[in-house]
Chains A and B, each alone.
Chain A
């Protein structure tokens, strides 16, 4: 039963986001522990998580630099895997484009989960906004707390895969995009896009295949239909 202290409104979003935060926290622990075991001083992973707040980018940069790839190669890898946030920003950017500080904060906190939760709210703008801020704030706390614990854990690197957490993330996103699939064009575009991404993933650097997935949109480019004059 959801705890009483949650507001009545959006209680399900709080509950889901809090549950997700356990997984993100554990991944954060493994990031902090991995960075420390690579010989980095504690403030590097901590600052990275606090200032970047992008798990895949941070892991990508760390991996490249640990393999001796240098700063520029690390940066390139980190930014490349992040490019999927351009279409995210296009889709949900209007939710926080109000005052200068909500723009700043909302931009900083654009992540996979906040995008997916906001989109799952559908056309209800108030709920989409609430979902965006609630999920991203909870994830931010979990990610940073996890990183700090990982740094303190010193040498003990948990393997999130043991808990199946690598399945939890795609399953979460799948559940969140599912309602949008009621729209046949969206379903078709998503199927084609997923196919393109899966077919190219073995050959291209991480980050590119999901962007190539956007080609799926071509399968359903919306035409101007007469019924649009209702708008």
Chain B
């Protein structure tokens, strides 16, 4: 990999990040559109949660990973602090793996 490739990725990624606000600045954003755009980002994040919890390297990630995320999710639902949620999720997954559960 060369420096040119590194720069090309940096530019490509920047342009992707620029696309959203540029589109936004060209329209008058109504309250309805605002709601929809925020909901869109939430939906993408939720989709990222599911794919991140279930899949790794193009296949099912095994049970330890979704189990950890599930524990985190229940704690989040019970309004535990974010820190607790994240540490509990990681610890659950790590301990399950330590116990030999993939």
Q: What is A's interface to B at a CB cutoff of 8 Å? A: 12, 15-16, 19-20, 23, 40, 43-44, 47-48, 51-54, 57-58, 61-62, 65, 71, 74-75, 78-79, 82-94, 96-97, 103, 106-108, 110, 112, 115-116, 119, 161-178, 180, 183, 185-186, 189-191, 193-198, 201-202, 206, 209-214, 216-217, 220-222, 224, 228, 231
Contact = CB atoms under 8 A, between A and B. Distances in A.
Contact of B1 (A71, A164, A213): A71
A87 B24 CA distance: 10
A78 B12 CA distance: 9
Given A57-B9, A213-B46, A90 B40 contact: yes
Interface residues on B, range: 35 or more
Interface string B6-40: 11111011101111110111000101100111111
Contacts of B39: 180, 183, 185-186, 189, 217, 220
Given A193-B47, A211-B44, A175 B19 contact: no
Contacts of B82: 16, 172, 175-176
Interface string B51-68: 111111011110011001
Q: Helix, strand, loop or mixed for chain A's interface?
A: helix
Nearest 7 pairs of A and B residues by beta carbon? A89-B20, A93-B21, A171-B72, A213-B47, A167-B68, A171-B89, A164-B93
Given A47-B3, A61-B9, A162-B94, A214 B32 contact: no
